[in-house]
Homo-oligomer: A and B are copies of this chain.
């Protein structure tokens, strides 16, 4: 053992300053190997060093999938991050809104529109499901700013199980020529032996997987990367006809020709859960898992010995409350300014001692918002000229009204824009509800916009504005989710609007509202049906028993016999359901929870001199439901009414100033 101690001593006198034989160093072999391997694979990253990450993301589904990746990354990260997102227009809208409203401290996000670089790869014949976007990783050295020297490139279907800094640190192990850090493919499929007639592109062995890439942009630029890959791709395409794995085929062909640019990274940085994977050999313990790659078309349903473990990890982040990731890296507070750090709620204007503090805050909360959570594809029919009068139904809801969407969709075949107030977990339940619902699964003209829960008040007007903001038709029908429009309302509206010269002046078409107190309602098929049901007490005018003022101005007696549209005057507390131009004023954000959220809006229409025109052959019926927990909660809160009155006064005051009109004081 003498020799060992000598060894220790020399180290002591040399660079290391171990003041005593360390238990690990004087311990048994196993530990030393362990330490050595730790030193080899885990070089350090400087404190607060910014980690650069690039992701190509196109369309609604990839955007959703990317969010889970980002959550897993944020959960474990301890460094500032800079995301570089190469997106199509859809993903750009979704993700820029999401990250703006998410307001994560110490995370910067830059967007690069895919359209700018697509021409560089669109000539490549490609059979992969990711289409042309799958190829965009090839263009990164050119697409990303020249000041950016290295970047981790990720597919949207990977999940982190550890701190990304450990991966970033591996750049330090890359030798001078090594420009691409990659993990080997883990399935024999890539050897071309599993399928008959499957001939993979040229590669070293199984080839390398491009789901996780350490990309040294400077080195690639230095070797004229765009020219390099293009030459090799053109040559190989002569025999291969098309790529089947998008960018991955081409990366591998380049590496086969230039093995020196490859730096192989340990396989647990890209544990591939494809079919026939040999990934098991790559981890023996949970601690070994770093990045999991769901690269099977079966995704979460893939069969794997440890699938349950992997699924649990994935579900963890899928359902994780993203708001909790707004936590600040307080060790690196210099990186971002203090404004950004907590900008998701900016309520400096409010006095914390104000008794209505909670109610006043709502207006300033930046609710994390995921627009177009599901596929959306609506093209207005321009052939018959009716698109000029096209109208989108706008509403908002939370989980307890989910089942209403299906009935609504059956009663309204036109486009719908819905804002949904949900938790991350509920968003998943919502997703499977829509997918498993035949009526909804095939409807692509419903825009679902998820607003994540925050605080205790239901931000009804924020939700309405979100749904309103995503409408593309010239007109909107502003409804509430617990109403069902009469069958045929959509085509009726389009017809009637063309006759009413809706485009001239400010007009609001009023759709009279009724209610049923009975749970099993035979929905009236016609106005005649409805009048009969009114007469026998099966239906009532809306809120007849408790709040007749809200709709009295619609003049129900006149409506009974009306056959042509008629004008009515605005009255105090009027809150009709209306069809208006899309550029209608937004709803006032100070009204959240219950009370005055629509009344204030109608008042602003009046201030803008809207004409209220009641439609004689249109109606909506309120479907009964048990009172929601929220209503009950706030009815019981004595502060609520008091604060609502204050907010009303302030709103009226603001309105007077804005429009130079005075409204009667309606506080009662």
Contact = CB atoms under 8 A, between A and B. Distances in A.
This chain's copy number in the assembly? 2
B324 A315 contact: yes
Interface in A164-218: 172-173
Interface string A618-636: 0000011111110011000
A384 interface: no
A313 interface: yes
Contact of A520 (B403, B520, B545, B623): B545
Contact of A13 (B3, B305, B406): B3
B10 A15 contact: no
A517 interface: yes
Interface in A12-38: 13-18, 22-25, 29, 31-36
B14 A7 contact: yes
Interface string A562-599: 00000000000000000000000000000000000000
Nearest to A407: B632
Contact of A23 (B43, B78, B287): B43
Nearest to A623: B626
B78 A286 contact: yes
Interface string A46-57: 010000000000
A7 B16 contact: yes
Given A331-B285, A425-B423, A520-B545, A14 B8 contact: yes
B287 A312 contact: no
Contacts of A315: 321, 324
A629 B402 contact: yes
Given A4-B14, A7-B13, A629-B403, A330 B306 contact: yes
Contacts of A10: 6-7, 9-11
A337 interface: no
Nearest to A2: B14
A54 to B, nearest CB: 24
Contact of A308 (B43, B327, B624): B327
Interface in A210-250: none
B39 A24 contact: yes
A386 B400 CA distance: 42
Contact of A286 (B329, B629, B632): B329
Contacts of A14: 3-4, 6-8
A547 interface: no
A518 interface: yes
A450 to B, nearest CB: 16
Given A43-B24, A306-B330, A11 B13 contact: no
A42 to B, nearest CB: 9
A44 interface: yes
Nearest to A163: B287
Interface in A612-653: 623-629, 632-633
Contacts of A24: 39, 43-44
A309 B35 CA distance: 32
Contact of A625 (B17, B32, B326, B626): B626
A328 interface: yes
A22 B44 contact: no
Nearest to A28: B15
Given A7-B10, A321-B425, 12 more contacts: A17-B36, A23-B172, A306-B330, A309-B327, A313-B324, A316-B320, A316-B324, A402-B629, A403-B629, A517-B517, A519-B625, A623-B626
Contacts of A519: 517, 519, 624-626
Contacts of A286: 78, 329-331
Contacts of A172: 23
A40 interface: yes
Nearest to A629: B403
Contact of A403 (B36, B328, B436, B632): B632
A284 interface: yes
Contacts of A332: 285
A9 B308 CA distance: 47
A336 to B, nearest CB: 14
A319 interface: yes
Contact of A312 (B319, B326, B406): B326
Contacts of A624: 519, 624, 626
A200 to B, nearest CB: 31
A129 to B, nearest CB: 28
Nearest 9 Cβ contacts at the A-B interface: A7-B14, A285-B331, A10-B10, A312-B324, A625-B626, A309-B327, A7-B10, A312-B327, A78-B287
Contact of A47 (B43, B47, B285): B285
Contacts of A44: 24, 31, 34
B627 A403 contact: yes
A546 B332 CA distance: 65
A357 interface: no
Given A312-B324, A425-B423, A625-B625, A4 B8 contact: no
A492 interface: no
A433 interface: yes
